[in-house]
Structure 1
Amino acid sequence: MDIISEATTGLKGITNSADTLKEKKLREACAGFEALMLKQILSQARQGIEKSGLLDGGYGEEMFQSIQDDQMTQKMAGSNALGFGEMLYRQLSQAHVPPNKEK
């Protein structure tokens, strides 16, 4: 085996793992953005609901609701509920294809 071919093979492996890491980070960012959008939608929808005053828990209830919304929207985004994160991922990954890769 040639030293140059071994070095080239090793560099390709490093490049591929770096590309995989970038793709993973991009996918996580897109899912996080979808979760953020879903949380905003839930927040705006709740503002339209009148509080009866009978079960109004004040600040504690608001904090609990916020935490619950965070968890729910993270699960929704992770399960690709709306598909918004996946569409965003496809769009961004196609926009930033390195010149040496062909699809």
Structure 2
Amino acid sequence: MDIISEATSGLKGISNSADTLKEKKLREACAGFEALMLKQILSQARQGIEKSGLLDGGYGEEMFQSIQDDQMTQKMAASSGLGFGEMLYRQLSQAHAPQSPTSKEK
């Protein structure tokens, strides 16, 4: 963490360290979920491609293709992908945000 921003935030920065860890974990979970969704989309799209039979490789190709898809979808989700993970993160972080005391009903 940056020393200057830590010094200017004071006690607020100290109390938010647990929140930032939760936010980081939530963001990672949302990116992982987006990667999972992207992999499903990719595998369904790949099933629609007709194989020629000339260079199709059986189990070895399936294993390599699965590993390649995993890595590619992880990279896509980490670099905002379709934006689905970010939308999910915003929705979930708002749902678990603490309610402000000024929003009391009369």
Residues 16-58 of structure 1 show CA distances to partners (whole Å, capped at 9, x for unaligned) of 1111100000000000000000000000001111111111100
Task: Note if contact 2:34-2:84 (Cα within 8 Å) is conserved in structure 1.
Answer: yes
With normalisation by structure 2, the TM-score equals 0.78
After the TM superposition, list the runs of 4 or more consecutive aligned residues in structure 1 that deviate by more than 2 angstroms. Answer: 1-15, 98-103
Match of 1:99 in 2: 102
Q: Which runs of 5+ in 1 are unaligned?
A: none
Number of equivalent positions = 103
Summarize the Cα distance change of 1:13–1:27 in structure 2 as closer, same or farther, 3 Å threshold. Answer: same
- Report the aligned-residue RMSD: 6.4
**Residues 35 and 77 of structure 2 are in contact (CA less than 8 Å); yes or no, is this contact kept in structure 1?**
yes
Moved more, 50-59 or 89-98: 89-98
Cα displacement (A) at 1:86: 0.3
Name the counterpart of 1:18. Answer: 18
> Which stretch of the first structure deviates more once superposed, 46-55 or 20-29?
46-55
The 1:9–1:74 alpha-carbon spacing in structure 2 relative to 1, beyond 3 Å, is: closer
Distance 2:11 2:23 in 1: 18
